[in-house]
Amino acid sequence: MSLLEVKNLTISFGGLRAVDDFNIDIKRGQLYGLIGPNGAGKTTVFNLLTGVYKPDEGIIKLEDKDITGLKTIDINKAGIARTFQNIRLFKDLTVLDNVKVGLHNHYRYSTIEGIFRLPKYYKVEKAMDERAMELLKVFELDGEADYLASNLPYGKQRKLEIARALATEPRLLLLDEPAAGMNPNETGELMDTIRFVRDKFDMTILLIEHDMKLVSGICEALTVLNFGRILAQGQTSTVLNDPQVITAYLGE
């Protein structure tokens, strides 16, 4: 069954088509990769899927619900969360509080209850603390819950960003170059983490990535973009052996 179905997605900036007739069908539970040269339109696709941009044409459906053109917060509530190529944490907040930010879609109290510290405020905060700690334990970050996010090493900041995204309880997780800036050992750990997240949370994952070892090691299917258009699409082994992909993307 399809979790995400995108048809004829198109957007132009200043007369230049950044994404042109993009189509994708991602099944529930898939690990799917979106690859291509720099400037191919990959992050633009993510921005369209998450409401940062509104498409000029096309339809985006999540579990057969049309989410095309919705605001970012409404798309997140519908079930899509993302991370970013350049890590976007609240670096002056603690590790615990960063995850709690992602919980506010599901745990709420009124302004009055918060200002006057009424009983519901303490009840909700306690529940949020407990849930945030559960997520931090998954990523072995619970021992650093009180650290400032800025004090974590780079690899752990990546994990924290994924934990915060998962706090919104998505059905589809978008990872934008999660291995960027990582050394080979960190990349290996990240591959294990992505597989673990998929299995533990029954998560469907779409990732942009340049690290071909990671792509070939975890992605079950791929779409290759070039100049905003689909160059190749299908099972990973088939796509990576496509002469067009080798020439345009791998530079051989």
Q: Report if residue 132 sits inside a domain.
A: no
Q: Report if residue 9 sits inside a domain.
A: yes
Q: Report if residue 233 sits inside a domain.
A: yes
SS3 assignment, position 173: strand
Q: Report if residue 107 sits inside a domain.
A: no
**Measured distance CA(112)–CA(40) in Å, rounded:** 48
- pTM value > 0.85: yes
- Number of structural domains (the chain) is 1
Q: What is the pLDDT of residue 211?
A: 85
pLDDT tens for each residue of 170-211: 999 999 999 988 888 888 999 999 999 999 999 999 999 988
- Binned at pLDDT 50, 70 and 90, residue 251 comes out as low
SS3 assignment, position 216: helix
- Binned at pLDDT 50, 70 and 90, residue 250 comes out as low
Q: Read off the CATH number of the domain in which 196 is found.
A: 3.40.50.300
Of 217, 187, 205, 244, residue with least CA distance to 34: 205
Q: What is the pLDDT of residue 249?
A: 61
Cβ proximity of 164 and 99 under 8 Å:
yes
Mean pLDDT of 202-221: 93
- The domain of 60 spans 2-79+170-248
pLDDT tens for each residue of 58-95: 999 999 999 999 999 999 999 999 999 999 999 999 99
Q: What are phi and psi of 135, to 5 degrees?
A: -70, -40
Q: Report if residue 186 sits inside a domain.
A: yes
Strands 65-66 and 229-235 come out as: unpaired
